[in-house]
Each structure stands twice: as structure tokens, then as C-alpha cells.
Amino acid sequence: MIFQRALRRELFSAASAVFTTLFTITVTFMLIRILRDAAGGKIASSDVLILIGFYSLDYFPILLILTGFISVLLVVTRAYQDSEMVVWFASGLSLTRWIAPILSVALPLTMLVASLSLVVSPWANEQMQEVRNRYEKREDIAKVAPGKFQESRGGGRVSFVEEVSGDLSKVQNIFTSMMNDGRSSVIVAKEGKVEIDAHGDRFLVMSQGRRYDGLPTEGDFQMMQFEKYAVLLSAQSNLDANNKSAKALPLRTLIDDPNPTRDGELLWRASLPFMGLLLMLLAIPLGYVNPRVGRSANMIVALILVAVNLNILNMLQLAVVQGKISFWRASWPMHVAVAILTALFFLWRLKVNSVWHPSSVWGRIKCRLYRKKNQQCVDHQQMVGN
């Protein structure tokens, strides 16, 4: 019990440091990307902090999986480096005795990853999509910052306003330049507001203004003065709020109305908890290091295994989306392979006296290199194995 409490305390301490580091790096990259989108007019500047929060919730499952795996790896590696494992094995205890205390931390973490992956992440994606759609639904003229020229998404309109009302529905002193059938059109108006017709199409209705078509030096130049003039901003067909991506769909919808795209998303969500649990168990035998050698190489190998695991999951998800393999056939091979690999690593570390154990192989190589006597080589191998 004392060992388990100390191990859990050390795991929580390592997990706190690892999660803080990973979360800080992730938020930094997200902030750079979101600020770039805000500067490019893709999102509203007032939505930056909201989107960072939703993106964080979406990345939480992966961050927790990496946190659990790296934390177990660090704790086991430290025990080897401080020669605590020598005392552990000398006391007649096995490496498998680490499984129970690790599971006491891994199982709650797996349940948290499952809830985030199956429920919270879809909700966060739905909210992100709604925030972006709400900004896209806003008329281009309302996206213009006062005193700044702004190009529309299609690139066919450049707008400038002097003042915007608080509810963003009215603008004052409007300048708009458009291209119609290869001809330049310039509209200036004192005021404009948004109106929606019976079909759901959005129009910018400008009042007390003028329109100039063509160039003054051309013969077909036209100028007209109007009391009211409407410009189509967006059609209802382009504002379909029900067109959600698979990432934003709730779990019930993925199960009740399946298709290849939704099956691929369901595979990703369901695989993350199992992957996190198996990786934390794999970190126990993978944490072995020679106390006289650094642990950098060991950490690199571990991170490569995580990257390979995630890439295989992405490949399986892509195969399901493309209809090359069914959901049920893609849901189990990777986890079975990782479980077998974990069992093999445990056997490899437990059978220290095996002729194929690294210490035994290295001992035989040293004996052949230095041409020692056979008995000395055997004694050396036994000493390294023990």
C-alpha cells in the first residue's frame, strides 16, 4: 500500500508537469493559427478566446493520452536510473507488480478520455462550427471594420464604411466597389441595413446614394441616384446550418444513421480510450534503461511508437471513410497488435536470463570481442542478467 500511494503521488506529479507543458505548446500553436484567421477576416476578433477554449476541449483526449503515457514512462525510467528497480528485483518482486497501481490511475484517466472523446469533443466541434457559421452568415458589409477597406470572400466586392451600429445591422457612409459582367460599379450611400426576404435571402438595402457604372472616359458610363438600392449578400442555399461535419455530430447520430464518413469518425472516437490504456501499460516495460546510460534514446523510441500508433489509426479511419474496410474490421486489429506487443515486452523484461535478452546478447558479443575465457563469459552474462 505504501508503494502504491507513493507511485500514484509520483504519477500525479509527473502528469501535472507533462500536461502543463503539452497544453501550453498546443495553446500557443492554436493561438497563432486563430489569430492568423482573424487577421485574414475568416473569423471575428471577438471570437478568438471562445475558439481557443473549444479547440482545447477538442484536443484534450490526445493530450491526456500523451500525458498518461509519458508520465508512466518517466516514473519507471527514474526508478531504473536511481537503482530502485535493482532493490525491487532483489526483493523477489516482479515487474508485473507495477500493473495494478498503474491501472488504478490509468482506468480513471481512460474513462475521462472516453467521455471527452465521445461527448465533449463533438460538442466543442459543434460550437466551433456554429461560431464560424454565425460569422459567415453575417453580411460582408458588417464584417468591415470602420475606416478600413475589406474584400469579400469571393473577391468580387471591396467595401468601406465610416461607422457601424452597435448591433452590426446598420452602417453609415458606405462605399462599395463591385465587378458586374466585366464592368466596374461603384456605389456610395449614406446608410445601409440588412433585410431578409421571404425566401431567406439576405440583402443590404442602401438609402440616399449614387451608383456609377463603368469609367467616366467611356461612352457607356452611367450614373444614377437612388433612394433605396438592394445588393444580394447571401442566398439561403449557402446558409444551410444543418450541414454539419462528422466531427460535430453527437454519438447517437453516428450510431443511428451510419455512413462511411460517420463510421470513420466513430472509429476515431472509440479507439482513443483503448489506445490510451494500452499505451500506459506498454510504458511499464518500455521504461527500462541502463542506470549508466541516459534515457534520451528510450524516450525517442517511446514517442515514435505513439506517433506510429496515431498514424495507423488515421490510416484505418481513412480506409473506413473511403469504404475500403468496414468499421468492425478496422476497430480491433491495432489494439490487439499493441496488446500483443505489450505482452512481448513484459516477457522480454521478465526473462532476464534468456539467451535472447539484450544483456545476454551484449555479454556474448563482449566475450567474443575481447576473447575471454568461456567461464569468464558465462560469469559475466550471469552477472549482467542478474
Beta strands in 129-270 (DSSP E): 150-151, 157-164, 170-180, 183-196, 202-213, 222-234
- d(Cα 88, Cα 301) in Å, to the nearest integer? 25
Span 271-292, mean pLDDT? 88
One-letter identity of residue 229: Y
- pLDDT above 60 (res 16): yes
Q: Which of 97, 52, 49 shows the shortest CA–CA distance to 76?
A: 97
CB 205 within 8 A of CB 195: yes
Q: Strands across the sheet with 150-151, in order?
A: 150-151, 157-164, 170-180, 183-196, 202-213, 222-234
Q: Which of 118, 102, 128 is CA-nearest to residue 60? A: 118
b/e string for 362-376 if b means 16 or more Cβ within 10 A?
A: ebeeebeeeeeeeee
Higher pLDDT, 299 or 325: 325
Who has greater pLDDT, 16 or 362?
Answer: 16
The yes-or-no verdict on residue 240 having pLDDT over 50 is no
Q: Lowest-confidence range among 63-77, 163-177, 268-282, 297-311?
A: 163-177
pTM for the predicted model, two decimal places: 0.71
Instruction: Examine the pLDDT at 384 and tell me if it is beyond 80.
Output: no
Q: What is the mean pLDDT of residues 319-345?
A: 91
- Identify the pLDDT of residue 382: 46
* Average pLDDT along the chain: 80
Helix residue ranges, H only, the chain: 2-39, 48-81, 84-90, 99-115, 121-137, 251-256, 260-286, 296-321, 327-330, 333-350, 358-370, 374-385
Handedness of CA 39, 42, 44, 48 (dihedral sign): negative
- In the predicted model, is pLDDT for residue 318 greater than 80? yes
Helix (H, G, I), strand (E, B) or coil at 208: strand
User: Position of cell 490510451?
Assistant: 276
Interhelix angle 260-286/296-321, rounded to 10 degrees, is 160
Q: State the number of CA atoms in the 13 A half-sphere of 263 facing the CB.
A: 18
Provide the β-strand partners of residue 170.
193
182-236 pLDDT, tens digit each: 678 888 888 887 777 766 666 778 888 888 888 777 767 788 888 888 877 655 5
What is residue 248's predicted lDDT score, i.e. its pLDDT?
87
pLDDT band at 386 (very low <50, low <70, confident <90, very high): very low
31-40, long-range: CB within 8 Å, 24+ apart, which pairs?
none
Q: What is the pLDDT of residues 136-186, one digit of tens each?
A: 665 455 555 566 776 665 566 777 777 766 555 677 788 888 777 667 888
pLDDT at res. 142: 52
pLDDT, tens digit (0-9, with 9 covering 90-100), for 37-57: 887 767 878 888 899 999 999
Class of residue 65 by CB neighbours under 10 A (exposed 0-12, middle 13-18, buried 19+):
buried
Q: In this predicted model, which residue has the larger pLDDT, 302 or 382?
A: 302
Kindly tell me if the per-residue pLDDT of 320 is higher than 60.
yes
In this prediction, residues 269-294 reach a mean pLDDT of 87
For 5-19, 41-55, 254-268, 305-319, which range has the lowest pLDDT when averaged over its residues? Answer: 41-55
Mean per-residue pLDDT, 300-305: 82
Partners of 172 in beta bridges: 163, 191
Neighbours of 116 (CB within 10 A): 24
- Per-residue pLDDT tens digits for 84-135: 888 888 787 888 888 989 999 999 999 999 999 999 999 999 999 888 877 7
Phi-psi region of 178 (alpha: psi -120 to 50; beta: other; left: phi over 0): beta
Whether the per-residue pLDDT at 358 is higher than 60: the answer is: no
Whats the size of the chain, residue-wise? 386
